[in-house]
Amino acid sequence: MSADVHTSADYIKHHLQNLTYGKLPAGYERADGQTLQADTWTIAHSSQEAKDMGFWAVNVDTLGFSIVLGALFLFFFAKAARTATAGIPAGLQNFVEWIVEFVDSSVRGSFSGRNPLIAPLALTIFIWIFLMNLMDLVPIDWLPGLASALGVPYLKIVPTTDPNATFGMAIAVFFLVLYYSIKMKGVGGFVGELTLQPFGKWGMPANLLLEGVNLIAKPVSLALRLFGNMYAGEMIFILIAIMFAGGAVLFLTGGVLQWAWAVFHILIITLQAFIFMTLTIVYMDMAHQEHH
């Protein structure tokens, strides 16, 4: 794959490294021995360079694949809407209607309020995360190998194995929860919910601690659950891929294991998208409920 990959450990590190773009300071000595004469925005050529780029560095592969998959989702669903007919649905329209009905039933079962945003939000979350997870079924050396041949040092094709992506989505949901909590209950009601429950006014410090932790745990649990499951799945695919270089027996064993894990992983990628969607609906439902 790359000139820098010589051992199994190098292979694993290479596949877990994002294509990162950021700024390196003047005087920085790069991995190839070059010393920068001025502050330079560039692609990181090692994990240390990516780390030294700091907070404002961007994982180009995560951002790129997320945008492309989101655009594909919008394109196919818009196409299905434009070509929809009143008769018996078939093909793309049948698939889209089935997905919409599935998400709609999930919303009706978990959301007790009235908000026209919830169903589209749930649909977007489910399909977008599913598509990002689905990239995990693409053989791990295909796209990174093509990128390496074109001179691109790293390429991670599964956005949900990057905590920046999962936390970004979770924080967006968290802001919506805060917005609707304040909108539906008012600032006083929201503050009262944090300070007066469950022990009443005499237990304000304990109430604030418990409710504060519960509130912050929502985006953290959303992000880490999705990231952890997808990262572990990607790691297993990488470990299986290493077996292909171990001789005929390990090659055949690796082929069987890869097929079996891919079949099982279809359930995982779907389940993780469903869990993220369902928890989002539940959290939004909690934000719409008023406590007296």
Point out the residues that are catalytic. Answer: 221, 225, 229
One-letter amino acid for residue 274 of the chain = F
Listed residue (19, 28, 16) closest to 52, CA to CA: 28
CB distance 49 to 43 below 8 Å: no
Pairing of strands 20-24, 58-59: antiparallel
CB atoms within 10 A of CB 216: 11
Tokens of 273: 């998208």
Q: How many Å apart are CA 237 and CA 240, to the nearest integer? A: 5
Query: Which runs of E-coded beta strand occur in the chain?
Result: 20-24, 40-43, 58-59
Distance from C-alpha of 100 to C-alpha of 32, rounded to nearest angstrom: 51
